[in-house]
């Protein structure tokens, strides 16, 4: 019986090649889109899941009250790890990790490579179960001059040589012995590195860190508990740990599951409110919707052909076929078509993955060796086949044989209301996706067009490393003298990256209960001229003033001036901790952190030649390539051991919009695919409608109807459905998109024209899809359709 079902199903598929192609094409596109989205979702859901005891690993988060709210960040005091091990009985291990200063030049023999790494306490590899190819986790970080490297870095440094016990130099100074080689770190892991250095090495190169107290937060602290059930008790002990050891400090530490770190990274008033999980939920919904749109196509086209299959059903029922056997046959047909579509979908996924990976900047791959993956893919194929074929199967098998065989049955009419509903749902979804894409792009454009407060163009940054620590002045002077740059300054960190802040600023008139968080950084000479920041009042730093070079001067931004409520801030004395400072200048607010958030008050101290980056304002009278060539040549002269690194500030600034751009791109891509799938279904329905009305069209044409009249006649029913879809989709789109926009402090207002444009695009797409079949039918020779009459 089953073999017979397959035979009949295959014959029907071959007999109606056009409909089968449209059906399988829509299903294949739907399933390919669904698989791509699920691969992306799985990639993020599996973040850090490679560690064996991930459920027992926690990151220490820090809640800091101020400005009437609670700020949450992962930076903790140096002493937190040792105190947690002492005071929390359920803590198996606690280690400190530094990820932002370990980048360096690694040299072996005559080969040098700039690589990123991290500093960690002994025990790091006992908490995180990285797979050691050489060496062991327990002994890897015991030696103060040890280095653990990844397999890829081992190949880069040593080629085919055995890396164990080899000595490499870091930053051309410190000799390090390789004590372990681990497998390469997966891309979906929170800590990204190519080498790990002992914590003691960080303290040796940063003397201030050895004596940092409970008020200095700079390390990440990772804790391993005996069991997840110990979390509540551990957090109770940690809640007032900082205050117990540093009286008056209201910061509260707590353990946060490492497994949640990637997906639930956003905090509001000390509580997790979401993060990447919101995007994941969106894409899961999108995957389901696209698959449903493809299934809707199948249902529409199958029920539209019901009159053709009616006689077959009538005859089969008359000779004794049960309804169950008919349902089985039609679902078998659907499953065969679905499984064929699954094969095509897999091919589409394999072909499109390189483009998709390039678009997202990640490395997704079909896990060919995973049995579970293939079970899931086949399961999706079977599920899609059953779902898409279930309604047509039950509908077709319900025909009454007497009515069918007497010619009293008109097939498509009873299924028509459902088909109309399904078309409305499809195009309603399309309208929402088009509106969402327009809205997301407008929001990104709005924030991008908002002034950054500094001139990003023709501004480049060079990291201060190696001999640049002592040669920065000589480099700047030479580049100025050659006309390569017009201005230069030294910053304590990149102008595009915030991070350092303080509560310890006080001024005349400040209330005792007032706590304001200030962003802080240091800058050198010509800070405002180089960065293109507008100086509102006073002056900027200059070595000509002894107060500047002795660290007694400070600059503030306009937000700080407003908070301090000074009429004439220049010359006013304020305090940062116990140090008294004189305000010498006020500069206009500029974007330092997120461009979507309001600029916080800023405090800028004089850094002189000490800093992390040299910022250079390129000479606009020369070509960019000539300027960069001159800078690279100078870097090779003054810092020969390091490969020249020149970063364009405008490119780094654009990275701040990366998440929103990714969301817009994916919405655009998969929204487009959903529309294409919907159009395939509409194309099939229009073809069938034209076929059913071919004699009516012939008569109308003989009686004088024009091509335009006939095209309008065939198109109007479908356009009515699209119109209903637009009307229903608009309020849903307004509600959902306004909800999304609420998370931005600077945001657009959802305008009527966005909704109108989305509706217009949908109508144009629908007209284009339907009109081809309508015009084709209207241009047909009426003699051919009427000669049998």
pLDDT digits (tens, 9 = 90+) for 703-746: 777 777 777 777 787 788 888 889 998 999 999 888 888 877 78
Least confident range of 384-393, 500-509, 578-587: 384-393
**Mean pLDDT computed over 127-142:** 91
Residue 320 pLDDT: 64
pTM: 0.82
Residue 415 pLDDT: 44
Residue 129 pLDDT: 93
Residue 279 pLDDT: 84
Instruction: Judge contact between 618 and 460, C-beta under 8 A.
Output: yes
Residue 610, SS3? Answer: coil
DSSP element (H, E) containing 717: helix 707-741
Closest CA to 508 of 422, 581, 445, 602: 581
Residue 360 pLDDT: 79
Task: Annotate 579-590 with DSSP letters as a single string.
Answer: EEEEEEEEE---
pLDDT reading at 101 higher than 80: no
Tokens in use for 761?
């695009």
Residue 411 pLDDT: 47
Among residues of the chain, what percentage have pLDDT more than 70?
87
- Predicted confidence band of residue 308 (pLDDT cuts 50, 70, 90): low
Residue 763 pLDDT: 85
Task: Annotate 432-443 with DSSP letters as a single string.
Answer: HHHHHHHHHHHH
Distance in angstroms (rounded) separating the CA atoms of residues 478 and 480: 5
* CA distances in angstroms from 487 to 451, 463, 541, 556, listed in the order given: 21, 17, 14, 21
Top pLDDT among 398 and 26 is at: 26
Distance in angstroms (rounded) separating the CA atoms of residues 614 and 493: 9
Reported as a single tens digit per residue, the pLDDT across 247-303 is 778 889 999 999 999 999 989 888 988 888 988 988 888 888 888 877 777 776 666
Reported as a single tens digit per residue, the pLDDT across 630-669 is 999 999 999 888 888 899 998 888 888 887 778 778 777 8
For 462, half-sphere exposure in the C-beta direction (CA atoms, 13 angstrom radius) is: 28
Helix axis angle for 276-304 and 323-360, nearest 10°, is: 140
Residue 617 pLDDT: 95
Closest CA to 282 of 765, 678, 659: 659
Residue 676 pLDDT: 79
Residue 414 pLDDT: 45
Task: Annotate 508-527 with DSSP letters as a single string.
Answer: TT--TT----EEEEEE-TTH
CA 314, 320, 324: angle at the middle one, nearest 5? 85
Among residues of the chain, what percentage have pLDDT more than 90?
33
pLDDT reading at 365 higher than 80: yes
pLDDT reading at 757 higher than 70: yes
Closest CA to 573 of 647, 644, 510: 510
Residue 530 pLDDT: 93
pLDDT reading at 313 higher than 70: no
Q: 706: how many CB neighbours lie within 10 A of its CB? A: 11
**Mean pLDDT computed over 1-13:** 64
For 722, half-sphere exposure in the C-beta direction (CA atoms, 13 angstrom radius) is: 24
Reported as a single tens digit per residue, the pLDDT across 577-611 is 888 999 999 999 998 877 878 888 999 999 877 88
Question: Which residues touch 391 (CB under 8 Å, ≥6 apart)?
Answer: 299, 302, 303, 418
Reported as a single tens digit per residue, the pLDDT across 441-497 is 888 888 877 778 889 899 999 999 888 888 888 999 999 999 999 999 999 888 888
pLDDT reading at 165 higher than 70: yes
**Mean pLDDT computed over 175-182:** 93
Tokens in use for 773?
């079949």
598 Rama class: left (phi>0) / alpha (psi -120 to 50) / beta: beta
Reported as a single tens digit per residue, the pLDDT across 689-708 is 666 676 777 777 777 777 77
Closest CA to 94 of 207, 253, 272, 211: 253
pLDDT reading at 78 higher than 70: yes
Residue 589 pLDDT: 92
Reported as a single tens digit per residue, the pLDDT across 337-355 is 788 888 888 999 999 898 8
CB-based burial label for 234 (10 Å; 0-12, 13-18, 19+): buried
Residue 396 pLDDT: 61
Tokens in use for 583?
């305000």
Helix axis angle for 323-360 and 371-396, nearest 10°, is: 140
Instruction: Judge contact between 507 and 575, C-beta under 8 A.
Output: yes
DSSP element (H, E) containing 488: strand 485-491
Helices (H), 130-176: 151-158
Instruction: Judge contact between 641 and 466, C-beta under 8 A.
Output: yes
Instruction: Judge contact between 178 and 163, C-beta under 8 A.
Output: yes
**Mean pLDDT computed over 60-65:** 91
Please state, rounded to an integer, the average pLDDT across all residues of the chain.
84
**Mean pLDDT computed over 177-195:** 93
- Predicted confidence band of residue 372 (pLDDT cuts 50, 70, 90): confident
Beta strands in 524-567 (DSSP E): 535-538, 553-557
**Mean pLDDT computed over 321-329:** 70
Q: Would the CA dihedral through 473, 475, 479, 482 be positive or negative?
A: positive
């Amino acid at each position: 019986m089953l073999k017979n079902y397959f035979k009949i199903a295959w014959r029907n598929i071959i007999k109606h090649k056009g409909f089968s192609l449209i059906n399988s094409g829509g299903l294949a596109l739907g399933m390919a889109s669904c698989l791509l989205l699920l691969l992306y979702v799985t990639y993020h859901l599996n973040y850090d899941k490679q560690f064996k005891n991930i459920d027992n690993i926690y990151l220490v988060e820090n809640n800091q009250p101020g400005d009437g709210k609670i700020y949450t960040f992962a930076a903790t005091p140096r002493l937190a790890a040792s105190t947690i091990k002492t005071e929390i009985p359920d803590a198996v291990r606690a280690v400190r990790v530094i990820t932002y200063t370990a980048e360096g030049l690694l040299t072996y023999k005559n080969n040098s490579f700039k690589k990123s790494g991290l500093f960690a306490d002994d025990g790091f590899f006992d908490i995180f179960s990285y797979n050691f190819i050489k060496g062991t986790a327990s002994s890897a970080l015991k030696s103060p001059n040890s280095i653990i490297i990844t397999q890829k870095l081992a190949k880069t440094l040593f080629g085919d040589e055995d890396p164990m016990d080899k000595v490499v130099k870091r930053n051309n100074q410190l000799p390090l012995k390789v004590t372990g080689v681990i497998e390469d770190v997966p891309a979906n892991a929170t800590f990204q590195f190519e080498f790990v250095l002992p914590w003691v090495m960080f303290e040796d190169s940063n003397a201030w860190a050895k004596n940092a107290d409970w008020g200095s937060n700079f390390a990440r602290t990772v804790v391993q508990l005996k069991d997840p059930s110990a979390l509540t008790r551990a957090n109770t002990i940690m809640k007032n740990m900082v205050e117990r050891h540093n009286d008056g400090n209201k910061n509260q530490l707590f353990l946060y599951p490492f497994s949640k770190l990637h997906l639930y990274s956003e905090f509001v008033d000390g509580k997790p409110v979401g993060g990447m999980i919101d995007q994941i939920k969106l894409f899961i919904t999108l995957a389901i919707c696209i698959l449903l749109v493809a299934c809707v196509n199948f249902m529409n086209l199958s029920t539209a052909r019901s009159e053709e299959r009616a006689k077959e059903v009538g005859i089969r029922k008359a000779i004794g076929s049960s309804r169950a056997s008919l349902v089985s046959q039609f679902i078998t047909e659907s499953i065969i078509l679905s499984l064929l579509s699954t094969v095509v979908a897999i091919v589409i996924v394999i072909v499109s993955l390189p483009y998709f990976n390039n678009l997202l900047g990640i490395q997704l791959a079909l896990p060919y060796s995973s049995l579970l993956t293939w079970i899931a893919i086949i399961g999706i194929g079977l599920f899609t086949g059953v779902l898409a074929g279930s309604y047509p199967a039950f509908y077709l098998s319900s025909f009454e044989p007497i009515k069918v065989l007497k010619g009293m049955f008109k097939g498509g009419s009873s299924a028509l209301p459902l088909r109309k509903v399904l078309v409305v749902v499809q195009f309603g979804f399309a309208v929402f996706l088009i509106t969402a894409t327009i809205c997301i792009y407008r929001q990104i454009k709005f924030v991008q067009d908002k002034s950054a407060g500094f001139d990003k163009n023709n501004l480049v940054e060079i990291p201060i490393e190696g001999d640049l620590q002592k040669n920065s002045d000589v480099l700047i002077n030479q580049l100025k003298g050659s006309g390569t740059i017009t201005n230069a300054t030294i910053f304590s960190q990149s102008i595009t990256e915030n991070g350092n802040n303080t509560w310890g600023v006080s001024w005349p008139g400040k209330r005792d209960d007032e706590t304001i968080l200030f962003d802080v950084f240091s800058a050198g000479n010509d800070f405002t001229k180089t960065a293109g920041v507008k100086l509102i009042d006073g002056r900027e730093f200059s070595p000509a003033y002894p107060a500047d070079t002795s660290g007694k001067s400070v600059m503030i931004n306009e937000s700080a001036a407003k908070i301090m409520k000074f009429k004439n801030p220049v010359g006013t004395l304020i305090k940062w901790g116990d140090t008294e400072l004189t305000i010498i200048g006020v500069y206009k607010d500029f974007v330092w952190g997120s461009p979507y958030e309001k600029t916080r008050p800023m405090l800028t101290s004089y850094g002189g030649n000490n800093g992390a980056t040299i910022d250079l304002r390129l000479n606009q009278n020369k070509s960019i390539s000539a300027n960069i060539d001159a800078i690279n040549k100078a870097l090779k002269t003054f810092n020969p051991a390091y490969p020249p690194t020149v970063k364009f500030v405008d490119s780094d600034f654009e990275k701040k919009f990366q998440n929103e751009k990714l969301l817009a791109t994916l919405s655009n891509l998969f929204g487009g695919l959903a529309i294409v799938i919907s159009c395939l279904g509409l194309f099939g329905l229009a073809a069938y409608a034209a076929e059913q009305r071919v004699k009516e069209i012939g008569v109308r044409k003989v009686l004088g109807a024009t091509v335009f009249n006939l095209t309008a006649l065939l198109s109007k029913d479908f356009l009515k459905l699209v119109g209903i879809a637009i009307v229903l989709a608009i309020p849903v789109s307004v509600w959902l998109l306004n909800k999304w926009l609420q998370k931005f402090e600077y945001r657009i207002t959802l305008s009527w024209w966005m909704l109108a444009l989305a509706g217009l695009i949908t109508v144009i797409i629908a007209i284009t899809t339907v009109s081809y079949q309508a015009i084709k039918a209207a241009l047909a020779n009426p003699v051919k359709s009427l000669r049998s009459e």
